[in-house]
């Protein structure tokens, strides 16, 4: 038996905190649970509740963000994260919401026992939305 209960949060950085927070609020109905102004020792930050974990986002100058978010293998030590939804219908709804928001969105595909949808957020980061496949 595992000693953990899953992921609590994923942390990422952006050069435009307002834009990325608005995107997650609009597409995923994410709720801000913390907003923190920049201090001399910590960058401006927001924590978004995604319903099963949090997305912690800090704002940094564009020139300080390393890696190429659009290139697999060049994104840094965390290549991408997956956001879970409850059903295929929810996944299809998320695809429509992403497209309506102008996101670069792929097609739903089967990956083993999971339906998967890759998309790019406004910073160009490739991310994934997943749901288990319910066999009938």
pLDDT digits (tens, 9 = 90+) for 77-128: 676 888 999 899 999 999 999 999 999 999 999 988 899 999 999 988 888 9
Across residues 34-56, what is the average pLDDT? 92
Residue range 74-136 forms a domain whose CATH class is alpha beta
As annotated, the residues of the chain forming the CATH 3.10.180.10 domain(s) are 74-136
As annotated, the residues of the chain forming the CATH 3.30.720.120 domain(s) are 8-62
Nearest to 55 by CA among 85, 79, 81, 75: 81
pLDDT of residue 46 exceeding 90: yes
Domain over 8-62 is classified CATH 3.30.70.1140? no
CA gap 124, 104 in Å, rounded: 9
């Amino acid at each position: 038996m595992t000693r953990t209960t899953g992921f609590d949060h994923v942390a990422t950085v952006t050069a435009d905190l307002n834009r990325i927070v608005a995107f997650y609020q609009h597409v995923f109905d994410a709720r801000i649970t913390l907003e923190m102004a920049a201090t001399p020792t910590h960058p401006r930050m927001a924590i978004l509740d995604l319903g099963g974990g949090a997305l912690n986002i800090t704002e940094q100058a564009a020139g300080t963000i390393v890696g190429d978010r659009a290139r697999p293998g060049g994104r840094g030590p965390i290549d991408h994260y997956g956001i879970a939804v409850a059903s295929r219908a929810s996944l299809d709804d998320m695809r429509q919401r992403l497209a309506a928001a102008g996101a670069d969105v792929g097609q739903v595909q089967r990956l083993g026992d999971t339906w998967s949808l890759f998309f790019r957020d406004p910073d160009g980061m490739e991310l994934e939305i997943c749901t288990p496949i319910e066999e009938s």
